[in-house]
C-alpha cells in the first residue's frame, strides 16, 4: 500500500495532502505562496511554510517521513518564485508529456526525501505581439487538476474544463484528451476588489454572495451584456438607494456581472477552442461554480453536456499521482481518491 505526499502551491496558499491506499488520509494548508517570495525577495518563507505544512500533515496522519514512498509537487512551486523552476511545456500536452517533464530534486531544507516536480503548460503562440497576445495563456497547477478530472470522469475529449477561483481557468482538451489551450480571467479577484475596495463596498456590506439568487444573478449578467461592465457595476449603488433589495441580492447582481464577462471570454477567446456542443466540466461547489453553472444552462450558445464535479481541493493530488503512475514511479493499480469525489452530470 503506497503512501504519497502531494504539495500544491499557488500564489497565496500551500496545501499538502497525504494519500494511502488510494484514499486521502490527511491534509493541511498554510497561507503562504510564491507571492511571499516576490515580496521578500527570498524563498526562505516559502521553504519554511512547505516544510512546516508537510510536518503538520504527517503528524495529522500519525506517520513520519520514513513511511512516505513518493512526494509530488505542482503549481507555482515550479515557477521562478517557487522552490524549483521548470519551464512550461508547450501545448498540446497530455498525461504522458507531463510525466516525461517531471524532475526529481533533493531539497533537504524542505523535506528529508527527494521531491518530484511537475511542470506547467503554456499555449503555443509564437512571436507574441499586440496582434495575438490574447491567444497566449499559461498555467501552473491547473494542468494537474485537469489530469485529476480526466481520471475521475474517464473523459477523453474534446472537452472544456472550468476551474473557478481568484483566477478562473478555462482549459480546453483536444480529441485525445490533451490540453490544447487555456484562458485565464480575474473573476475572483475582481469580485474581491469591487466588493471591498470601491465605492460599492457600502452597497455590498463588504461581503460576497452567500446564497444564489437566481433573478439577481441573471439581471446582473443581462445588464452587463447591454450596458458594459463598468456601468453595470455602478448600477449596484443605484439598486441600494432606489430598490428594496438586500446586500445578498446586490452581491448576486455583481456576481452575474463578473461571470457574464467570463462567459464572453469562454465563447470568444482565441486562447481556447470552444464550440457550442463541447462538453463542459465545472470543478467546485462555491458561488462562482454555482453561478457559472446557472448562466451556462440558460445560455442558448451552449448545447453540450454539463458536468459539475465536487472535490476540487483533491483534484491536484489525484492528478499528480496519476502523472507519477504514467512516469512509472509506482505500479499498483489503486483507484486514487475515487471514493472522495462526487459528480453530478446534467445533460442539456
Residue 319 located in a structural domain = no
- The confidence score (pLDDT) of residue 19 equals 96
Residue 316 located in a structural domain = no
User: What does the pLDDT look like over 85-122, one tens digit per residue?
Assistant: 999 999 999 999 999 999 999 999 999 999 999 999 99
Task: Identify the bridge partners of residue 121 per DSSP, sorted by sequence position.
Answer: 89, 139
* Lookup: cell for 89: 511545456
Q: Average pLDDT of 252-280?
A: 97
Residue 239 located in a structural domain = yes
- The confidence score (pLDDT) of residue 312 equals 63
Last residue of a domain, one of 122, 148, 174: 148
Alpha helices in the chain (DSSP H): 34-40, 44-61, 95-100, 142-153, 187-197, 214-227, 229-242, 247-268, 287-298, 312-327
Rg of the chain over all Cα atoms, to the nearest angstrom = 21
Number of domains in the chain: 2
pLDDT at 58 > cutoff 70? yes
- Same domain? For 135 and 172 the reply is no
User: What does the pLDDT look like over 296-343, one tens digit per residue?
Assistant: 999 999 999 999 987 666 899 999 999 999 999 988 655 554 434 444
Q: Average pLDDT of 147-172?
A: 91
Element (H, E) at 70: strand 70-75
- Same domain? For 188 and 50 the reply is no
- Same domain? For 171 and 305 the reply is yes
Percent of all residues in the chain with a pLDDT value above 90, rounded to a whole number: 86
Q: Average pLDDT of 128-136?
A: 97
Q: What is the average pLDDT value for the chain, to the nearest integer?
A: 93
Distance of CA 150 to the CA centre of its chain: 14
Residue 341 located in a structural domain = no
Residue 323 located in a structural domain = no
Q: Average pLDDT of 166-186?
A: 95
Residue 180 located in a structural domain = yes
Residue 259 located in a structural domain = yes
- Same domain? For 143 and 202 the reply is no
Last residue of a domain, one of 95, 119, 148: 148
- Same domain? For 144 and 203 the reply is no
- Same domain? For 289 and 161 the reply is yes
* Lookup: cell for 137: 495563456
Q: Average pLDDT of 50-58?
A: 97
- The confidence score (pLDDT) of residue 153 equals 87
For residue 292, give the CATH number of its domain: 3.30.420.310
For residues 64 and 59, give the distance between their C-alpha atoms in angstroms, rounded to a whole number. 7
pTM: 0.91
- Same domain? For 209 and 273 the reply is yes
For residue 131, give the CATH number of its domain: 3.30.420.40
Last residue of a domain, one of 130, 148, 166: 148
- Same domain? For 58 and 124 the reply is yes
- The confidence score (pLDDT) of residue 334 equals 52
pLDDT at 57 > cutoff 90? yes
- Same domain? For 28 and 91 the reply is yes
User: What does the pLDDT look like over 198-220, one tens digit per residue?
Assistant: 999 999 999 999 999 999 999 99
Domain extent, residue 105, equals: 3-148
- Same domain? For 24 and 42 the reply is yes
- Same domain? For 87 and 163 the reply is no
Residue 118 located in a structural domain = yes
DSSP 14-45: EEEEEEETTEEEEEEEES--HHHHHHHS-SHH
For residues 284 and 292, give the distance between their C-alpha atoms in angstroms, rounded to a whole number. 10
- Same domain? For 179 and 112 the reply is no
For residues 157 and 175, give the distance between their C-alpha atoms in angstroms, rounded to a whole number. 4
Q: Average pLDDT of 126-140?
A: 97
Amino acid at each position: 500500500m503506497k503512501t504519497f505526499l502531494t504539495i500544491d502551491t499557488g500564489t497565496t496558499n500551500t496545501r499538502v495532502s497525504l494519500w494511502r491506499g488510494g484514499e486521502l488520509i490527511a491534509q493541511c494548508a498554510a497561507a503562504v505562496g510564491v507571492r511571499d517570495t516576490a515580496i521578500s525577495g527570498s524563498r526562505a518563507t516559502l521553504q519554511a511554510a512547505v516544510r512546516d505544512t508537510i510536518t503538520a500533515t504527517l503528524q495529522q496522519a500519525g506517520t513520519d517521513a520514513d513511511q512516505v514512498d513518493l512526494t509530488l509537487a505542482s503549481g507555482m512551486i515550479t515557477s521562478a518564485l517557487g522552490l524549483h523552476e521548470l519551464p512550461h511545456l508547450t501545448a498540446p500536452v497530455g498525461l504522458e508529456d507531463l510525466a516525461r517533464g517531471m524532475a526529481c530534486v533533493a531539497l533537504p531544507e524542505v523535506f528529508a526525501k527527494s521531491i518530484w516536480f511537475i511542470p506547467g503548460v503554456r499555449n503555443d503562440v509564437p512571436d507574441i505581439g499586440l496582434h495575438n497576445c490574447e491567444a497566449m495563456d499559461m498555467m501552473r497547477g491547473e494542468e494537474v487538476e485537469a489530469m485529476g478530472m480526466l481520471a475521475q470522469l474517464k473523459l477523453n475529449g474534446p472537452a472544456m474544463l472550468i476551474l473557478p477561483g481568484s483566477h478562473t481557468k478555462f482549459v480546453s482538451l483536444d480529441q485525445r484528451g490533451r490540453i490544447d489551450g487555456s484562458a485565464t480571467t480575474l473573476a475572483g479577484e475582481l469580485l474581491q476588489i469591487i466588493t471591498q475596495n470601491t465605492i460599492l463596498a457600502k452597497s455590498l456590506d463588504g461581503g460576497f454572495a452567500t446564497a444564489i439568487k437566481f433573478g439577481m444573478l441573471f439581471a446582473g449578467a443581462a445588464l452587463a451584456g447591454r450596458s458594459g461592465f463598468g456601468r453595470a457595476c455602478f448600477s449596484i449603488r443605484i439598486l441600494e438607494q432606489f430598490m428594496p433589495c438586500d446586500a445578498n441580492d446586490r452581491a448576486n447582481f455583481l456576481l452575474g456581472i463578473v461571470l457574464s464577462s467570463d462567459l464572453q471570454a469562454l465563447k470568444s477567446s482565441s486562447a481556447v477552442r470552444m464550440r457550442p456542443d463541447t462538453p463542459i466540466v465545472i470543478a467546485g461547489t462555491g458561488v462562482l461554480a454555482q453561478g457559472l453553472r446557472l448562466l451556462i444552462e440558460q445560455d442558448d450558445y451552449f448545447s453540450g453536456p454539463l458536468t459539475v464535479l465536487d472535490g476540487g481541493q483533491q483534484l491536484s493530488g489525484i492528478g499528480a499521482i496519476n502523472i507519477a503512475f504514467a512516469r512509472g514511479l509506482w505500479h499498483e493499480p489503486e483507484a486514487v481518491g475515487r471514493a472522495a469525489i462526487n459528480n453530478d452530470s446534467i445533460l442539456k
